[in-house]
Amino acid sequence: MTYDDLPGELSVECDGPVRTVVINRPDELNAVNRELHWGLANVWRRLSQDPDARVVVLTGAGRAFSAGGDLGWITSFLEDPVARDESLREGAQIIEEMLRFPLPVIAAVNGPAVGLGCSIALLCDVVLISRDAYLADPHVAVGLVAGDGGAAFWPLLTPILRTREYLYTGDRIPAAKAVELGLASRTTAPGELLAEARRLADRIAAQPAEAVRGTKRVVGMYLSQALAGPVQAGFAAEAASMRSPEHRARLTALQKRGS
């Protein structure tokens, strides 16, 4: 099985029964641009067709897991509604593909996991997080509804009262706090993260394959049913907020600050 049709911003490393998917824009803190977004929407079907794959590890190259949406790409939506709508369709595809993906996925959160990066991490079956990493969902801070992430997922994982403040403000959630809240499985020392993810992947890969897949399928049915309404409503609300004056003003200010 080859993965040559994926963009260079997303690589798949094959080692025995384990596939390591690497978000690969390290100079941009793995911010999600158009090519990477497409790759994240389509890699799961490729992996599910790999007859030798048993477990997937998902991580980021360099210092970050993913810093969320690339500012230049997102800002382009202000004048390109076709690209904006396509990004929303593709965002829904990412969530749908990950929810029905048949193999266990271990997130190795090596650094900041922000916005879409945070959502992708929390869609994984196990979330191992480096002690110096953090989670954040800053959608609201840039004038957007957190429709493709926190508002839909977090209430399934953690008490709502503990996390609404983070959703409303976009504040960072340090690794230890993320574990305490139920948004991550456990922390690891920074230098041990990938080794620990691989050890766990090997343990799961050694389990009876059909039993693992069947167990994930049952859990996935619960998640899909619970998320169907919130995700659909979330994307509709996010689409509306993308057209708001507040969002345009926040993005424009960010762009000027970064230039």
Q: What is the pLDDT of residues 89-129, one digit of tens each?
A: 999 999 999 999 999 999 999 999 999 999 999 999 999 99
Q: Are 218 and 224 in contact (CB under 8 A)?
A: no
**Residue 72 scores a pLDDT above 70:** yes
Q: What's the confidence (pLDDT) of residue 232?
A: 87
247 falls within a domain: no
| Structural domains of the chain, count | 1
Say how far apart CA 174 and CA 116 lie, in whole Å: 17
Range 76-88 average pLDDT = 94
DSSP sequence for the chain: ---TTS-TTEEEEEETTEEEEEE--GGGTT-B-HHHHHHHHHHHHHHHT-TT--EEEEEESTT-SB--B-HHHHHHTTS-HHHHHHHHHHHHHHHHHHHH--S-EEEEE-S-EETHHHHHHHTSSEEEEETT-EEE--TGGGT---TTTHHHHHHHHS-HHHHHHHHHH---EEHHHHHHHTSSSEEE-GGGHHHHHHHHHHHHHTS-HHHHHHHHHHHHHHHHHHHHHHHHHHHHHHHHHHTSHHHHHHHHHHHHHH-
**Residue 14 scores a pLDDT above 90:** yes
More confident residue, 149 or 184: 184
214 falls within a domain: no
**Residue 150 scores a pLDDT above 90:** no
* Residue labelled with tokens 């977090």: 154
What CATH number should be reported for the domain holding residue 77?
3.90.226.10
- Average pLDDT of the chain to the nearest whole number: 94
244 falls within a domain: no
Give percent of the chain with pLDDT exceeding 90: 83
Q: What's the confidence (pLDDT) of residue 192?
A: 98
State the pLDDT confidence band at 257, using cuts at 50, 70 and 90.
confident
212 falls within a domain: no
Give percent of the chain with pLDDT exceeding 70: 99
Instruction: Read off the tokens for 186.
Output: 């456990």
SS3 assignment, position 7: coil
Q: List the domain range (segments joined by +) for residue 53.
A: 10-191
- β-strand 10-15 against 18-23: which pairing, if any? antiparallel
How many of the other CB atoms lie within 10 Å of CB of 88? 18
